[in-house]
Chain A
Amino acid sequence: MSFTIRYDDNNQELVMAGAMSPRAADELGELRTMFEKATTQVSGTLYLNVKRLVRLNNIAFHELARFVAKACHDKPDLKISVVTSSVVGWSARKFAKLAHISPNISVEQYDKDFYPGQGVLEDGGFIPILRTQTKLTWRHEREILPRHGMRPGLAVADICCGIGDFAALLAKEFTPSRLVAIDHAKPSLAYARKVAADFGIKGIEYVYGDASSLLVDDNQFDFVTCRHSLQVFDKPELILKELFRICKPGGRVYITNEKNSHCLGEPRGESIQWTYNEVAKVWAHFKMDIELGPKSRRYMADTGFDDIRMESFMVTNLDGDPQDFADVIQAWENVYAGQMAVERGDSPEFIARFRQGFQDHIFAALHPKGYAGWPIWVASGRKPA
């Protein structure tokens, strides 16, 4: 049996992970000892973290239920909170049974409501933004990627793949030996699979998962990408740690992020500038850092990468059809002003001015003598061999 149990006193958290399928209940002595130790030590709530428990047979569940019942009996004011993950399909349903033991037991899915922008990002409204964005960034990144170690034949993972268009482009351009694309938005994954099928692209594994707790073994991939996504988490270092973990020693992790306050355009530069400064604040309100781009180097170094390479590029209205650029800005306006500012409770006056900056950016993009830009920072690092 490959499973681990550990008790973290600081968080009052008992973490069970791996596959637990004993033949007989008496093989669970370690769990019992830990459980008893934990229940005597905690005050208030004991968290039972089963996010990465991928298998628990009925023998083990039955025994665990016994420990839980005994704890509730011995310590009537003890509360137990079981933390499951929607990524393990059986987990929430199975653990819900424990709630029958006592009203002091609650069972929750931690990833139902677990990062600030989840509502906005997972309801499907982001799909049009992502699609046009990737169209614009790809013409730069296809040339940038090889400088960061991308080449044909690698095992590649794209974490937070969104609608999977980047993965599809990678598959065509670099023919990886394996390509896994993971996201936590089901509508985006459904879209990704449909696009791949429509274009006859085979072999990309689109997988539902959580970037901060991937059900992927250590040291699996030569090249791990994560684009425009560290900036949507309140704790990007946790994601980076996971990217590091699944990367093979000697392999590389590649991330891209923005610094939206540096978006620019002429004419109407001032209004544009004002709006993008406000974009940064709206994102910060939702605990996301759309200014993360230039901080990537520090994040990579702190995670333990070496040979860190960094560069930036600017998507502009002169990259192909200016209407594409304008479409991206329009999509931003719809989500940032139409949803996020509204949710923050901003006044109609503020929202009108906020929207104006986006319209001015579009104006600059489509103006025959205008120039409009969106800067992006690329960073990659090697996992020490």
Chain B
Amino acid sequence: MTVTTGNTPFAPLLEIALGTDTFAANWDHCDRIATYVARMVSHNRTDSLLYANLFSSALNELLETAFRAHNGGGEISCTVSRSGPVDRIELTIPCNDKITSFYANAINDLSAADVADRYVAALLAEGELDPRIGLLELAVDYKAKLALTPMGQDKLRLVADLTLEDTY
């Protein structure tokens, strides 16, 4: 399947399904999956090692966000596709109203003019870490374009477009 936005086709690179229960039991999975996926998609980037490190850091934050915001059961699927310099990560996440509004509000806030300041403030804030932190980081430090697509009642799709070779 080829996904298109405008007229640039995204060619699929890989897709994996992640059981949320496994992740709840073994947090290391986020890091390991992120590292694995990054290695797979980076080998034909100019500097594969540098790219893989950036990509995996970004993906790890997305996965951590998803598993933290989630409250058990079902599968999260992760696909990566590519259009030239842009790599697209899509997470399809089981959801309820609470989860949907978490993402909707978080993504909405990313377009605020002072989003960079908000990100720094959240990083340095006392007390519990803001659960939106990963999304803020992607938008600010990785210049990712984030979007949300509802997929019926109980699923949503989080799309992150990353252009890592140009940003860094």
Give chain A's interface residues, CB within 8 Å of chain B.
1, 19, 21-23, 25, 54-55, 57-59, 61-62, 65-66, 69, 87-90, 93-94, 97, 100-101, 189, 193, 205-209, 215
Contact = CB atoms under 8 A, between A and B. Distances in A.
A65 B133 CA distance: 14
Given A69-B124, A215-B49, 17 more contacts: A19-B31, A21-B64, A22-B27, A25-B129, A54-B53, A61-B123, A62-B133, A66-B126, A88-B53, A89-B168, A90-B53, A90-B141, A94-B141, A97-B123, A100-B120, A205-B48, A206-B47
B60 A100 contact: no
B53 A89 contact: yes
A97 B27 CA distance: 26
A90 B30 CA distance: 18
Report whether over half of chain B's contact residues are helix, strand or loop; otherwise say mixed.
helix
B90 interface: no
Contacts of B54: 89-90
Nearest to B54: A89
Interface centre among B31, B35, B56 (most CB of A within 10 A): B31
Interface in B14-39: 27-28, 30-31, 35
A57 B120 contact: no
Contacts of B56: 55
A293 to B, nearest CB: 31
Nearest to A59: B129
Nearest to A98: B124
The SS class assigned to the A binding surface is mixed
B151 interface: no
Of B61, B123, B141, chain A has the most CB atoms within 10 Å of the CB of B123
Which of A23, A25, A59, A100 gathers most chain B CB within 10 Å? A23
B46 A193 contact: yes
Interface string B140-166: 011000000000000000000000100
A93 B141 contact: yes
A93 B141 CA distance: 7
Interface centre among A21, A59, A61, A209 (most CB of B within 10 A): A21
Nearest to B46: A193
Contacts of A206: 47
Contacts of A58: 61, 64, 123, 129, 133-134, 137
A346 B164 CA distance: 44
A242 B37 CA distance: 28
B13 interface: no
A55 B123 contact: no
Of the candidates A66, A89, A100, A101, the one having the most CB atoms from chain B within 10 angstroms of its own CB is A89
B124 A97 contact: yes
B3 interface: no
A54 B49 CA distance: 11
A55 B31 contact: yes
A89 B50 contact: yes
Contacts of A66: 126
21 contacts: A1-B31, A19-B31, A21-B31, A23-B27, A25-B129, A57-B60, A57-B64, A62-B123, A65-B124, A66-B126, A69-B124, A89-B50, A89-B164, A89-B168, A97-B120, A101-B124, A193-B46, A205-B49, A208-B47, A208-B49, A215-B49
Contacts of B57: 55, 90
A6 to B, nearest CB: 21
Interface string B117-132: 0001001111001000
B142 to A, nearest CB: 8
B50 A87 contact: yes
Contacts of B164: 89
Nearest to B117: A100
Contacts of B125: 62
A87 B30 CA distance: 23
Contacts of A101: 124
B70 to A, nearest CB: 13
Contacts of A55: 31, 53, 56-57, 60
B116 to A, nearest CB: 10
B99 to A, nearest CB: 19
A220 to B, nearest CB: 13
Nearest to B121: A100
Contacts of B47: 189, 206-208
A78 B126 CA distance: 21
Nearest to B31: A21
Nearest to A62: B129
